[in-house]
Structure 1
Amino acid sequence: MDYKKIIKNKELRFKILHSLKFVPDSLMLKLQYKMKMGRKLNWKDPKRWTEKLQWYKKNYRTPLMTQCADKLEVREYIKSKGLESILNKLYAVYDSADQFNLDILPQKFVIKTTNGSGTNILCKDKSQLHLDKVKQCLNDWMYRDNFSVGREWSYKDIVPKIIVEEYLEDKSNPFDGINDYKFICFNGKAKFIVLDVDRNIDHKRNIYDADWNFIDVSTDYPNFGDTVPMPEGLDEMLRVANILAADFPFVRVDLYWVNGTVYFGELTFYPWTGYVQFVPDEFDFILGGEFQLPIRKSIGGDL
C-alpha cells in the first residue's frame, strides 16, 4: 500500500499517527511494517535488518541513546570520546524560533532542530532568507512528536531546541553539496558505508563494504555504479565511526570528509525508520545477519 499517495500531506500523516499514540508499540510497529514493507513483521525470530530495527525500537532503550539522538547533547558525548575536533562550529542555540537573531550570524549557516532527523535548513545567503517562513517551519519541527510517528524511542524525551552551525563547503566535490558518509556499525565495528550525493538536486546513493568495495544494491534512491574513488579520509572516518559506535549494539554514524577533515553529522539508531526496500532483497538479510540482537534492555515497556 502506497500510503503517501492516499495521504499526500506529510504533516497530516504525522498528525494522524500522533492521534494513534495510544496504540501499543508492538501493534503499531506491526501495522506500519506491513503497510510500508508489504509483508508481516516477524517478532519471534527476526532475520531481516528491517525487522531487527523494529525489535530495537521496542526492546532496547537507554538514556545514552536519547543523548546521542539529540543534536545538541550529542556534542558532549563526542567530547567525552576525545573527538571534539570533529564537531562543526556552533554559532547559536535557541529555545524557540522567536529568539532567532540573524544579526549575529555569518552569511552562510545551517539551522537544525535537535529533536528529529532531516529537519535542517541550509542558508547560503542570509540576505535571501525568508525569516518568517523559516520560523514557522522551525516551530512545526520543534513540536512534532517524532516518537509517535515511527515509535523511534530515542527521540521521545529530547527537549527541542534550535542550533545554528557552520555551513560546510567542498569546492572540489564534483557533486552538489558535500558527500554524506553513513557508517553502518554493529557492536562498535563499521561493516558497510552508505554514500549519499547530490541530495539537493539528483539524490543518488551507493553502498560499499568497509574496504570500499562497491555493492550493487539500490534503495529508494538509485545507485550510480562503481564510479567514486575511495575517499582519502576513509581510514580516519572508520576510526572515528568505530569509536562512536562502541557503546551500542547498532548505530549508524554519519560523517563528512571536507577539505581533508572529518566532521560529525549525527548518530542514528533507526535508519530510515527501519522501513527501506533493498534491491536485491537479499541485502536486508545480509545486514540482518550482522545485527546480533542484544538482551532486551528497556527503561519501560510499551509507551
Structure 2
Amino acid sequence: MTATAASVAGPQRPVDPAAHPGGAEPVSAATLARLHLTYLWRHARRLSLHDPQCFTELVQRRKLIDRDPRMAGLIDKLSVKTFVADRLGPLWTTPTLWSGTILPDRPPCAPPFVVKSRHGCRQMRIVRSDRDDWKAICRASARWVRSPYGGWLDEWAYRDVPRGLLIEPLIGDGRTLPIDYKLYVFHGRVAAIQVHLDRATAHRWTLYDRSGRRLSAAAGGDIRPPAALARMIEGAETLGAGFDFVRVDLYDIAGTPRFGELTFYPGSGLDRFD
C-alpha cells in the first residue's frame, strides 16, 4: 500500500516553494536543494512540491510552508501533557517525575524510569536498576541539550521548543518496551495505524487501517488489535481535531490507552510509508 496525497489529504493547491505565507521565512535555494537531494537519496525518486502525490512529499511541503504556531508547544514532550490532559483527561498522560536542563549527580528517583529530551526524537535512555551507568546517561543528556535539533532536516518547529530533559516512569511490565501504536490522523480522522514491536531489540512494524486490517507487507507479523483500540482512535481524533495532519503515538497499558507524543514530521518524510 502506498499512501497517496489525494487519498489521505484531499485535493492540494499549487504552491510556490519560495513563497512564505503566514509570516514564514522565505525559503532559500540551499534549503530547496537540500530537501530535494535528501528526498532523492532516501526514496530514489524526485520530489514534487507543486503536485505532491505521496504522503512523504506532503511532509516535505509542510516543512516549507506550514508555520502553525501551535506545533512547537505540541511536540514539546513536557508542555504537550497539559494539552492532552485538557482534551482527554490526566489519566492519558504519563507522570513527570523530574524535569530540568542538567541531570543531578545522582538519580532523582528509583528505577525503572526513562530519561528523555523534551525537544528531540530518539533521545532516550532507560534506567532499569541502580547498576546502570548514570554518569554515561548524564553525558548523553548534556549532548542532547547543547546540540541543535531539527534544523538539518528543515523541521522548523523544533527550533522553538525549549531545550531540556524529563524523567518518566517506565510504563508497561518494566521488562520490555510496550507496543507502540502510531495513529495517522488526517483532518481529524484516523486513516492508518503503524504498530511497532520490539523497539529496543528486533524493531519491526506493520501498517493497518483503522479497522485493524493489515495494509503493509512489512515483516512485522499480524498483531491482534489492542483491547483499547476504539478508545485510542477516539482519543487520537480528539487530539488531531483542527490539524490537517498529526501523528498521535499511543500505548495500550493493560487495556488502558496511554499517550506518548505528537509528531508533525513522521520520519521527516524520509522513511517509507507503505
TM-score by length of 1: 0.77
The question of whether the paired residues in 2 share the 8 Å contact of 1:192 and 1:209 is answered with yes
Identity %: 28
Q: What is the CA–CA distance in structure 1 between the aligned matches of 2:225 and 2:90, rounded to whole Å?
A: 25
In the alignment, structure 1 segments of 5+ residues that lack a partner are 1-21, 284-303
Aligned pairs, how many? 248
In 2 relative to 1, CA 229–122 (structure 1 residues): closer, same or farther, beyond 3 Å?
same
Check if 1:80 corresponds to 2:86: yes
Aligned residue for 1:266?
261
Check if 1:111 corresponds to 2:115: yes
Aligned residue for 1:204?
204
Q: What is the CA–CA distance in structure 2 between the aligned matches of 1:46 and 1:216, rounded to whole Å?
A: 21
In 2 relative to 1, CA 269–136 (structure 1 residues): closer, same or farther, beyond 3 Å?
same
User: Residue deviations 1:21-80, cap 9 Å, x none?
Assistant: x86432321121122222211111111111110001111111210000111111121123
Q: CA RMSD in A?
A: 1.9
Aligned residue for 1:185?
185
Partner of 2:268, secondary structure, is: helix
Structure showing the higher helix proportion among its residues: 1
Partner of 1:150, secondary structure, is: coil
TM-score by length of 2: 0.85
Partner of 1:156, secondary structure, is: helix
Check if 1:92 corresponds to 2:98: yes
Q: What is the CA–CA distance in structure 2 between the aligned matches of 1:238 and 1:211, rounded to whole Å?
A: 10
Counterparts of residues 212-227 of structure 1 (less than 5 Å):
212-218=212-218, 223-226=219-222
In the alignment, residue 108 of structure 1 is paired with which amino acid? P
In the alignment, structure 2 segments of 5+ residues that lack a partner are 1-27
Aligned residue for 2:19?
none
Residue 101 of structure 1: how far off its partner (Å): 4.1
Counterparts of residues 42-191 of structure 1 (less than 5 Å):
42-97=48-103, 99=104, 101-102=106-107, 104-125=108-129, 127-170=130-173, 176-191=176-191
Q: What is the CA–CA distance in structure 2 between the aligned matches of 1:167 and 1:109, rounded to whole Å?
A: 5
In 2 relative to 1, CA 130–193 (structure 1 residues): closer, same or farther, beyond 3 Å?
same
User: Residue deviations 1:134-158, cap 9 Å, x none?
Assistant: 1111111122222222111221111
